[in-house]
């Protein structure tokens, strides 16, 4: 929101410096994004009178002028404009000044005294375009010294151009976001009121804005308003004005628009724009004679209806759009943009002036859907108050007549349906200083609060001065809490006391998941692994490369790039995607892990059935470059890492190849990248809780993985804090025996350990079993498993015979149950 300090000063005093004002606006109104010193642009631009004008001796199209710029002597300037002539008041840019339009350019154009075809020109006479106040470059800007303007600066040779037309201005650009709930602050008048309020000054709105207006009557042009959707158009005011003359606006008005960041177009359009910039209420002018029926209608668009807009674009509408019609066909997109067909042009003689209020949500929806963002949209979608329309329309009518002539051609039509609005916004709010002070931590008195509010024209009244009636433009003041904000802000939030809340010494609850997550991180990083974070969204290709089915994944409808199209089904594909790049970057061997959420479409949250369930997973991938890989299969390395964060029973590891996933879509997606013969499912209570293993050849190829790559992905619920089961230390030494069993290749190692442990189970003698060696010859179908058994008695030192008997019990059992041979 660009705020002109000069415009603000038309409505309130500002007696602090610009820097102080900006600090105050930041602290009490909204973030200032930029402060532009407009005056610097026009610093040397001076009004001058052409006292003599002759043809250039050496150039047909140039004139040599003598100008009076109030310096006491005439100055010679060469000018190429066709409209240059004696007696004209013009803007002179002296040598050493910068052409205003080029001021913000990388290389601003600085004038000097130089010869043009042998005649010295001291600077130049400027066109509207060079002055940055218009597009016209056909000739130099002509100033009419007798034209009315708001400032009382006299137009004479030597007058500063900027001062005469308010261009000696400072523009303060305040973040729009701050004013989302403040439609009134999208007008200069509203901002001026706030600037008064934060300076603790009384603000008084001008009569034209606040006083009840009386409309005159006009006749000659038929005008009818048909409002089919009063709930979306709570107020629709319109009037016809006849016999106007469309031409450029007076210079002061053009300058006002330029200061406010707008562009002058023609007197009619400029008046509607200027009043919108002042009040926040958009207006629209139609060429009356192009609205053949004399009817303005408001209705929902018809499916498939098209409209050609002022911007030159033709768009297709649907029933969610609101249109303005001529009673039949649409001639404008309500609240967004007017139509091309009824546009005011140089030939326009009669106009209809519209001042309507549209539902903010409908305007926003249409604007978003069609991607059309206009000044009107910015204002309408904040919810402008319909109660200001009569005053705004009244001012607009007067201003049109002032700048374009003509007279009222019809009655003022006021189609209104304000009951819902009035009920919501004009209710008095109870003023209770205890309520206000307790929420701000202040001790303001009643009168202090009253003054702050009255400064911005809230009405404090009632029997005990305890009700606040917000003024009609304040749609944001609805609740007592809104008044708290208002008082705090106007008083100054920087003056709030910094007091910490008091609480009991009850400890805050600990989040067990968080503690476990931190331990998981600690353990894996201590084991040399690196924690990564990867995106929650993946490209469909990543899902497919991992052998997963993208149809099972939730899909984004508005992703900026296909890289972020799907919620990931598991962490593994994202991790695999980070392997090749790190190998290429020169890392020979590494393990990366991530703890994050995964989503499986269609599985809803048991606690909140309306939203998808989310699982927290931990995934890890270990990879070694071909040149440096460790011996053996990578599976066992992945298993070793998994062992760092959870203690698994052997029975929980089931070969993936032997697990039936036919009915388990989720299990299929989780395990899709893993090679069934070289991976294990992690089972708990007959359910799948994870997978550990090597990857399918197709997956390795797709992700360019080195041969030595494996990993795991588990649900966080299997990560548990191991329970400590203490065994008292024995006073007696333990006895070790190594036993080597030859078993079939297909016999799992865990079976051998399990049978041995069962056989060694004894009331008073503990037996620990550790692996020593697993040997498998190249030929044949057997392997040798060597275990170390350590027997320890709590009661005595075991004799050799006792140990031998214990060992025999173990070997007999293993031999019998697993067809093993003791070697």
CB-nearer residue toward other proteins: 27 or 110: 27
CB-nearer residue toward other proteins: 111 or 743: 743
How far is it, in rounded angstroms, from Cα 143 to Cα 152? 15
Least CB distance from residue 454 to other proteins, whole Å? Answer: 20
Least CB distance from residue 817 to other proteins, whole Å? Answer: 16
Considering only CA atoms, which of 347, 348, 351, 374 is closest in space to residue 363?
A: 374
β 687-695/708-715 pair status: antiparallel
Q: Cβ(743)–Cβ(819) under 8 Å? A: yes
CB-nearer residue toward other proteins: 70 or 612: 612
CB-nearer residue toward other proteins: 172 or 265: 172
Q: Any bridge partners for residue 174, and if so which?
A: 32
Least CB distance from residue 154 to other proteins, whole Å? Answer: 42
Least CB distance from residue 383 to other proteins, whole Å? Answer: 9
SS (H, E, C) 399-437: HHHHHHCCEECCCCEEEECCHHHHHHHCCCEECCHHHHH
CA 472: distance to chain centroid? 31
State which H helix or E strand residue 299 sits in.
Answer: strand 295-300
CB-nearer residue toward other proteins: 614 or 766: 614
Least CB distance from residue 681 to other proteins, whole Å? Answer: 9
CB-nearer residue toward other proteins: 52 or 601: 601
From residue 442, give the alpha-carbon distance in Å to each of 54, 489, 600, 695.
Answer: 74, 12, 52, 65
Using DSSP's 3-state secondary structure scheme, residue 754 falls into helix
Least CB distance from residue 493 to other proteins, whole Å? Answer: 5
How far is it, in rounded angstroms, from Cα 168 to Cα 255? 11
Q: Cβ(258)–Cβ(38) under 8 Å? A: no
Q: Cβ(807)–Cβ(727) under 8 Å? A: no
Least CB distance from residue 469 to other proteins, whole Å? Answer: 19
State which H helix or E strand residue 55 sits in.
Answer: strand 46-55
Least CB distance from residue 21 to other proteins, whole Å? Answer: 14
CA angle 154, 156, 162 (to 5 degrees): 70
CB-nearer residue toward other proteins: 164 or 301: 301
Q: Cβ(5)–Cβ(62) under 8 Å? A: no
Least CB distance from residue 312 to other proteins, whole Å? Answer: 25
DSSP readout, 91-132?
EEE-TTPBPGGGTTSSS--B--EEEETTEEEESEEPBTTTTT
CB-nearer residue toward other proteins: 106 or 510: 510
How far is it, in rounded angstroms, from Cα 453 to Cα 468? 9
How far is it, in rounded angstroms, from Cα 652 to Cα 670? 17
CB-nearer residue toward other proteins: 89 or 179: 179
Least CB distance from residue 543 to other proteins, whole Å? Answer: 15
CB-nearer residue toward other proteins: 145 or 632: 632
Q: What contacts 496, CB < 8 A, 6 or more positions away?
A: 440, 441, 442, 488
Q: Cβ(120)–Cβ(68) under 8 Å? A: no
């Amino acid at each position: 929101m660009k705020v002109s300090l000069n415009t603000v000063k038309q409505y309130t005093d500002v007696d602090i410096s610009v820097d102080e004002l900006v600090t105050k606006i930041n602290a009490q109104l909204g973030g200032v994004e930029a402060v532009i010193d407009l005056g610097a642009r026009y610093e040397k631009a001076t009004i001058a009178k052409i006292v003599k004008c002759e043809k250039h001796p050496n150039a047909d199209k140039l004139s040599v002028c003598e100008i009076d710029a109030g310096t006491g002597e005439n100055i010679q300037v060469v000018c190429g404009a066709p409209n240059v002539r004696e007696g004209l008041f013009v803007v002179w840019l002296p040598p050493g000044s910068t052409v205003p339009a080029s001021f913000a350019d990388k290389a601003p154009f600085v004038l000097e005294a130089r010869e043009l075809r042998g005649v010295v020109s001291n600077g130049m006479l400027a066109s509207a375009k060079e002055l940055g106040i218009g597009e016209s470059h056909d000739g130099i800007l002509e100033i009419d010294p007798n034209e009315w303007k708001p400032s009382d600066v006299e137009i004479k040779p030597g007058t500063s151009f900027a001062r005469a037309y308010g261009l000696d201005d400072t523009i303060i650009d305040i973040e729009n976001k701050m004013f989302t709930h403040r439609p009134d602050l999208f007008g200069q008048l509203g901002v001026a009121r706030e600037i008064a309020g934060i300076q603790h000054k009384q603000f008084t709105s001008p009569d034209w804005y606040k006083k009840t207006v009386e409309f005159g009557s006009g006749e000659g042009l038929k005008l009818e308003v048909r409002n089919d959707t009063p709930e979306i158009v709570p107020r629709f005011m319109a009037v016809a004005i006849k016999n106007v003359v469309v031409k450029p606006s007076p210079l002061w008005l053009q300058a006002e628009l330029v200061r406010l960041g707008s562009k002058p177009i023609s007197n009619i359009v400029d008046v509607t724009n200027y009043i919108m910039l002042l009040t926040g209420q958009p207006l629209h002018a139609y060429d009356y004679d192009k609205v053949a029926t004399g009817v303005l209608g408001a209705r929902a668009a018809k499916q498939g209806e098209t409209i050609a807009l002022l911007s030159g674009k033709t768009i297709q509408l649907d029933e969610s759009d609101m249109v303005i019609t001529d009673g039949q066909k649409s001639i404008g997109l309500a609240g967004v943009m007017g139509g091309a067909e009824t546009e005011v042009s140089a030939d326009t003689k009669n106009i209809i002036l519209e001042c309507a209020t549209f539902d903010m949500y409908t305007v926003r929806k249409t604007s978003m859907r069609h991607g059309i963002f206009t000044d009107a949209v910015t204002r309408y979608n904040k919810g402008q108050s319909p109660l200001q329309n009569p005053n705004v329309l009244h001012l607009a009518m007067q201003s049109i007549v002032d700048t374009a002539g003509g007279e009222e051609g019809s009655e003022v039509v006021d189609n209104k349906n304000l009951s819902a609005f009035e009920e919501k916004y004009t209710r008095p709010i109870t003023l209770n200083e205890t309520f206000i002070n307790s929420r701000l931590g202040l001790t303001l008195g009643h009168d202090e609060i009253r003054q702050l509010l009255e400064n911005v024209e809230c009405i404090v009244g009632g029997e005990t001065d305890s009700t606040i009636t917000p003024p009609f433009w304040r749609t944001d003041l609805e609740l007592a809490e809104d008044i708290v904000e208002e008082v705090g802000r106007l008083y100054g939030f920087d003056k709030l006391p910094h007091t910490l809340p008091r609480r009991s010494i009850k400890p805050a609850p600990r989040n067990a998941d968080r503690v476990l997550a931190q331990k998981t991180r600690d353990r894996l990083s201590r084991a040399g692994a690196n924690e990564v974070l990867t995106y929650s969204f993946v490209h469909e290709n990543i899902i497919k490369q991992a052998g997963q089915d993208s149809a099972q994944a939730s899909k984004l409808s508005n992703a900026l790039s296909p890289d972020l199209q799907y919620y990931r089904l598991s962490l593994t594909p994202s991790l695999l995607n980070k392997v090749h790049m790190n190998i290429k970057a020169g890392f020979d061997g590494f393990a990366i892990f991530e703890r994050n959420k995964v989503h499986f479409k269609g599985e809803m949250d048991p606690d909140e059935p309306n939203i998808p369930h989310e699982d927290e997973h931990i995934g890890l991938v270990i990879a070694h470059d071909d040149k440096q890989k460790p011996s053996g299969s990578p599976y066992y390395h992945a298993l070793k890492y998994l062992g760092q964060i959870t203690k698994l029973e052997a029975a929980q590891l089931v070969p993936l190849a032997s697990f039936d996933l036919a009915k388990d879509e989720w299990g299929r997606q989780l395990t899709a990248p893993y090679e069934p013969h070289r991976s294990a499912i992690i089972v708990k209570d007959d359910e799948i809780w994870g997978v550990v293993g090597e990857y399918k050849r197709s997956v390795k190829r797709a992700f360019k993985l080195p041969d030595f790559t494996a990993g795991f992905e588990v649900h966080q619920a299997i990560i548990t804090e191991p329970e400590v089961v203490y065994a008292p230390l024995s006073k007696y030494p333990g006895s070790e025996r190594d036993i080597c069993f030859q078993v079939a290749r297909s016999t799992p190692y865990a079976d051998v350990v399990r049978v041995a442990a069962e056989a060694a189970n004894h009331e008073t003698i503990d037996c620990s079993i550790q692996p020593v060696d697993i040997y498998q010859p190249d030929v044949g179908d057997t392997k040798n498993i060597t275990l170390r058994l350590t027997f320890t008695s709590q009661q005595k030192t075991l004799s050799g015979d006792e140990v031998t008997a214990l060992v025999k019990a173990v070997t007999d059992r293993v031999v019998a149950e697993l067809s093993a041979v003791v070697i």
